[in-house]
Amino acid sequence: MPRVGVLALQGDVHEHVTRLQEIHADVVLVRRAHDLEDLDGLVLPGGESTTIAHLLNTSGLRSALEDKLREGLSVFGTCAGLILLCRDVLDGRHDQWSYGVIDVAVRRNGYGRQIASFEASIDVPGTGTVPGVFIRSPKIERCGVEVEILATHDHGDGPDPVLVRQGNAWGCSFHPELTGDPRIHQLFVNSL
């Protein structure tokens, strides 16, 4: 049974834990650096990216997680988690930072503010159609050559990558944890 941590500082923690438990992962809540030990993978949840980044600093987790990512820890970031994993935040605050482990450029709230939230069917080859919940979601505007695009969504201006992978780092623009469908989590866990 894979041992998967969920960063439990802010955001959709409970929802990710529920999806992971549905697929029988051994789930660990990560709040301190020692919680990162002996994990097979880690989920960075949706929430507010600048708040999560601040809490990573104040909890002492920022550098510990950076070390683990450098050592090859598998990671899956959804929404705000994707922002924390991307190479470039196009419209971030002056103090915005990210780990840069997925060579993508994202725009925060790229699909619009809270009032513009929407749901869409996302076709994931080999998995089928999954529900996608987009709430203040980042929009991936550039992908590096080593980034594998696993799914796209056309929101009217051409297909945008919404599920990507670079090595052991996964990023998702939408919120699979809010749908009740664990298949995106299963894809990540199957890769561990």
DSSP state of 188: H
Q: What is the pLDDT of residue 164?
A: 98
Q: Is the C-alpha dihedral spanning 175, 170, 80, 2 positive or negative?
A: positive
Residues with a known catalytic role = 79, 175, 177
Distance CA 66, CA 13 (A): 20
**Helix, strand, coil fractions of the chain, as percent rounded to 5:** 30, 35, 35
The pLDDT of residue 92 is above 80: no
Indicate whether 94 pLDDT > 90: no
Name the residue ranges covered by the structural domains of the chain.
Answer: 3-190
Confidence of residue 128 (pLDDT cuts 50, 70, 90): very high
151-169 mean pLDDT: 95
Report, at the CATH architecture level, how domain 3-190 is classified: 3-Layer(aba) Sandwich (3.40)
